[in-house]
Amino acid sequence: MNKGWRRAVLIAVPYLWLLFFFLVPFIIVLKISLSDTAIAMPPYVPTFSLSEGWSGIQNFFSGLDFENFAWLLDDRLYINSYLSSLWIALVSTFLTLIVGFPLAYGMTRAPESWRPRLLMLIILPFWTSFLIRVYAWIGILKTEGLLNQFLLWLGVINDPLIIMNTNTAVYIGIVYSYLPFMVLPIYSTLDKMDDSLLEAAIDLGCSKISAFWRITVPLALPGIAAGCFLVFIPAVGEFVIPDLLGGSQTLMIGKTLWNEFFSNRDWPVASAVAIVLLLLLVVPILIFQRMLEREQEGSK
């Protein structure tokens, strides 16, 4: 194989990946979102059949419409679910940043020989199944759980705290589960930072605290942004954590989608919900992409 060929194959790989694992499923879901429900296998019409020839294809396209998207606007439930998901994701991302930044900062300040071990500790929880770790939180947070027993024993509280089955439990679950996604990018930007910049700032009369705010934080911004997007985007569509830790009042789009798909057997509306969610998430992803590009240009 000559060089040009090899390059073409290399470039084609990510595009083929996108085509088969993103574009094709997206078009299938989009098609279902334009269909109508039916008591049949699969539970919607029209379905695509080539056996009827040209008229079959015409019937197929004439059976599609945007009714399901109009339905999403009709009922406040969907808009409220989107807003509530975005809010829960936003708060969780903020909390993850508050916890994650000091962790990452502390790691870069630790002696060089410790750092591989500390990094290892951050990654270690991934060795256990995500589901089991979320289940473990039930044992910790429930009314008769470890946390309450400990606090009662300390005498800090007299009555057990009700955390399990509330939004607080959801925040705890999300912050815990996504923390490594926040710590790792911040750590990698802080680790690359040149310490002599701080020394220079202090030599020039800057206090340690203002050197932190004026040098360290701005230089860590790309890492902070990457961490925030890595937490925010999956948190919006999160289903497992709110289902296991949240209460019945926890409203998130993942749950609403589940209801449409499983309880109502309304695959078309469920698909429409998924399409809108995707569009909502594409915006922050594009912003992130733009930021990355700008940063790369800057470093050149």
Partner 1 sequence: MKFFLKFITLTSTLALGAGAAWSAEVRIYNWSDYIDESILEDFTKETGIEVIYDVFDSNEVLETKLLAGGSGYDIVVPTGSFLSRQIQAGVFQKLDKSKLPNIVNMWDKVAAQTAKYDPGNEYSINYMWGTTGIGYNVEKVKEILGTDKIDSWDIVFKPENLAKFKDCGVQMLNAPDEIIPAALNWLGLDPNSSNPDDLQKAEDLLLSIRPNVQKFHSSEYINALANGDICLAVGWSGDVLQARDRAAEADAGVTIAYSIPKEGALMWFDQMAIPGDAKNVDEAHTFLNYIMTPQVIAKATNYVAYANGNKASQEFVDEEILNDPGIYPTEAASERLYTKLAYDPKTQRLATRLWTKVTTGQ
Find the binder of partner 1 among 129, 248, 283, 299 (CB under 8 A).
Answer: 248
Q: Which stretch binds partner 1 (CB under 8 A): 59-67, 140-148, 196-204, 217-225?
A: 140-148
Strand, coil or helix: what is 45?
Answer: strand
296 near partner 1, judged by CB under 8 A: no
What H or E segment, with its residue span, contains residue 37? Answer: strand 36-37
DSSP lists the bridge partners of residue 45 as 36
Would you say 41 or 154 has its CB closer to partner 1? 41
Amino acid at the residue 36: D
Q: Round to whole Å and give the CA distance between 147 and 139.
A: 9
142 near partner 1, judged by CB under 8 A: yes
CB of 95 to partner 1, least distance (A): 23
CB of 96 to partner 1, least distance (A): 25
Residues numbered 54-93 forming contacts with partner 1, rule: CB under 8 A:
75-77, 80-81
Provide the token pair at 293: 């590009």
Find the binder of partner 1 among 227, 250, 254, 272 (CB under 8 A).
Answer: 250
Would you say 182 or 252 has its CB closer to partner 1? 252
Residues numbered 25-54 forming contacts with partner 1, rule: CB under 8 A:
37, 39-43
Burial zone of 271 (CB within 10 Å; 0-12 exposed, 13-18 middle, 19+ buried): buried
Give 112's DSSP letter.
Answer: G
Contact status, residue 186 vs residue 101, Cβ threshold 8 Å: yes
CB of 37 to partner 1, least distance (A): 6
Find the binder of partner 1 among 149, 207, 264, 296 (CB under 8 A).
Answer: 264
136 near partner 1, judged by CB under 8 A: no
Q: Where are the alpha helices (DSSP H) in the chain?
A: 3-18, 24-33, 53-62, 67-74, 76-109, 115-123, 130-141, 146-154, 167-192, 195-203, 208-211, 217-236, 240-245, 253-258, 267-299
Contact status, residue 215 vs residue 263, Cβ threshold 8 Å: no
133 near partner 1, judged by CB under 8 A: no
Find the binder of partner 1 among 265, 284, 292, 295 (CB under 8 A).
Answer: 265
Residues that bind partner 1 (CB under 8 A): 9, 37, 39-43, 75-77, 80-81, 142-144, 165, 247-251, 256, 259, 261-266
